[in-house]
Amino acid sequence: MSEPKVMLVDGMALLFRGYYANAYGGYIRKTKAGLPTNAVFGFVRYLLDACRTFGPTHIICCWDMGSKTFRTEKFDAYKGNRPEAPADLIPQFDLVKKVASGLGIPNVGIVGYEADDCIGTLSKQFGQHMDVYVLTGDHDMLQLVDERVKVVIMKKGPSNYAVYDPGMLLEEKQLTPKQFIDLKGLIGDTSDNYPGVKGIGEKTATKLLIEYGSIDGILENLHMLPKGVKAKIEADVEMLHLCRELATIHCEAPVICTAEECYWQPNQAQIASLFEELEFNSLVKDVSKLVLSVS
C-alpha cells in the first residue's frame, strides 16, 4: 500500500487549458448529438496524466462558484477584465463536474469563495497528516507551499510539470511562500485585475523583499529606499495593503472533505460507460490501465 497522498485539482485551470488546447483552427470536438466536449476531453487527459505521474491515493476537484466573492466586495474591479466564456464552453461547466463524479472524484466549491480558497483550506487540513499535491496552472498557489504541500504547475506539453516545494521556490523565485503574497501585493496581478504599486515591477519588488523581508519591513524602512521607489510606495500605500489582501488565499473557508470521501476508488465499468456516452473512445484504454494500477 502506497503512502497516502491527496491531489487537490484546480478544476477551472484544467478545464480552460483543455478548451484552448483542443480548439485548433476553430474546430470544437462534439458528440454526434452536437454537445461540445473539447474542454472536458482535455480536462480528463490532463487529470489522467497527473494521476499517472504523481500517483495520488485521494483526489478532490475544486471549483469557482460564480464571479461574486468576498474579493469583489473589497474591490469591484477584481477579475473585472475577464472576457465572457466562449459559448461552446458554457455547457461544459456542468458536464465536467458530472465527469469528475463519474471518475469517483468529489467536486468542492463554496459560494462567495474561489477554488483557490477551497484548495488552500483543504491543503492545510490534509497537510497535517498526508502529503498534498496542488495541481494548477496558477502561480498564485505558490503561497501554499510548505513541507507537506507541493504545488504542481502545469507547463506546455504532456507530462511537463514544475513541482514546487519550499527549497525549489526559494531557489527559483528567491522568495518564501509568505513573501510570494507580498510580491503580488507590490506588483499586482494583471490576470486578476488588481494593480499593486504603480511603477514597481517584479525585479524591484523581489529585491525589496529579500532585503526587508515583507511589506511591513519595507514600510518600516521607507527612509532607506531610493527616492523614486519611496515616492511610488507612499503614493499607493492604501492600494498596496488592499492588493496584499486580495492576493492572500483564504485558508479557513467553510469547506470540509474527509479522507474517506476523497479516497480514489475508480469504477472501471462506470467510467467506460461514461466515456462511451461522451464518445471519448480513445481514453477508455488509458483509464483502464490507470484503474488497474490503483486497484
Is residue 10 included in any domain, yes or no?
Answer: yes
Regarding whether 156 and 69 lie in a shared domain, the answer is yes
Regarding whether 226 and 83 lie in a shared domain, the answer is no
Is residue 280 included in any domain, yes or no?
Answer: yes
Question: Which CATH number does the domain housing residue 123 bear?
Answer: 3.40.50.1010
pLDDT at 295: 61
pTM above 0.75, yes or no: yes
Regarding whether 144 and 257 lie in a shared domain, the answer is yes
Distance separating alpha carbons of residues 290 and 161, to the nearest angstrom: 19
Digitized pLDDT (tens) for each residue of the chain, 295 residues in all: 578 999 999 999 999 999 998 877 778 899 999 999 999 999 999 999 999 999 999 999 999 998 899 999 999 999 998 889 999 999 999 999 999 999 999 999 999 999 999 999 999 999 999 999 999 999 999 999 999 999 999 998 778 999 999 999 999 999 999 999 999 999 999 999 999 999 999 999 999 999 999 999 999 999 999 999 999 999 999 999 999 999 999 999 999 999 999 999 999 889 999 999 999 988 988 887 777 777 6
Number of structural domains the chain divides into:
2
Cβ neighbours, 10 Å, residue 177: 19
Question: Which CATH number does the domain housing residue 196 bear?
Answer: 1.10.150.20
Q: How far is CA 139 from CA 28, 52, 116, 153, in A?
A: 28, 23, 11, 7
Regarding whether 264 and 148 lie in a shared domain, the answer is yes
- Could you tell me the residue range of the domain that residue 189 belongs to? 173-247
Is residue 120 included in any domain, yes or no?
Answer: yes
pLDDT at 239: 97
Is residue 23 included in any domain, yes or no?
Answer: yes
Regarding whether 285 and 140 lie in a shared domain, the answer is yes
Regarding whether 234 and 265 lie in a shared domain, the answer is no
Is residue 295 included in any domain, yes or no?
Answer: no
Regarding whether 20 and 132 lie in a shared domain, the answer is yes
